Each structure stands twice: as C-alpha cells, then as structure tokens.
Amino acid sequence: EAGVAQSPRYKIIEKRQSVAFWCNPISGHATLYWYQQILGQGPKLLIQFQNNGVVDDSQLPKDRFSAERLKGVDSTLKIQPAKLEDSAVYLCASSPAGEISQETQYFGPGTRLLVL
C-alpha cells in the first residue's frame, strides 16, 4: 500500500513570495491533516479535512495560509506572502474514514520550507 505522498520535498523562497505544497493521502483515507513542524518542536495541526470539508482550521493563520481539498482526495496548502517564521517542515497526514477520534494518522515525508 502506497503511503502519503508530498511534493516538493524542499523549497527555498524569499520573504513575501508565495509557495504551494501538494499532498496525496493514502488511497481511501477520508481524513487529511496538515501540520507545521518547526525545528526542535513537535508537529502542530494547521487544518483538518473530512472528505472535502474543513473540520478544524482554528490554528491556521488565515491572513496568509490557505488550503483546499478538491474532490476529497488531493490537497494543497498555500502560503502568501511568506514570512521568515514560516520556515518549517509541512507534514501531511491521513487517516481512514469512520470514527475520526482514536484513528491512527499516517504521515508523509514532509516538505521542508526555508524562507530567506
């Protein structure tokens, strides 16, 4: 079974530029998550989708971050404009449909963003 796919793996941009990340979850997984992991810290949830609807985006900086999950499969996360403090690893995770709570989340390899 293929895992969670993410691209690009690395991205270097200058502040105030825009950037987009792509995620393809495990086949058949209805729930998709985007996390931000700053160096030396644990991942922090940015947004959670159930199929193509947003379940939780309470920690998403909506003035600069946006995300969508068209057709309930792939998802994109965009930052516009980027700030220096956005330098981090952006992790995508997915879990099967059903009882959202208590379900194991499976993570992709992440996209490493450096903002100069």
Partner 1 sequence: EDQVTQSPEALRLQEGESSSLNCSYTVSGLRGLFWYRQDPGKGPEFLFTLYSAGEEKEKERLKATLTKKESFLHITAPKPEDSATYLCAVQPGSSNTGKLIFGQGTTLQVKP
Nearest by Cα to 8 from 85, 70, 69, 92: 92
For residue 28, list its beta bridge partners: none
Give the residue with the Cβ less far from partner 1, 73 or 81.
73
Min dist. Cβ of residue 35 to partner 1 (A): 8
2 is an interface residue for partner 1 by CB under 8 A: no
| Whole-number Å distance between alpha carbons of 64 and 104 | 29
Q: Is 25 in the site for partner 1 (CB under 8 A)?
A: no
The residue from 11, 29, 34, 48 that contacts partner 1 (CB under 8 A) is 48
Q: Chain centroid to CA 115: how far?
A: 17
Judged by CB under 8 A, the chain residues 80 through 109 that form the site for partner 1 are: 91, 93, 95, 100-109
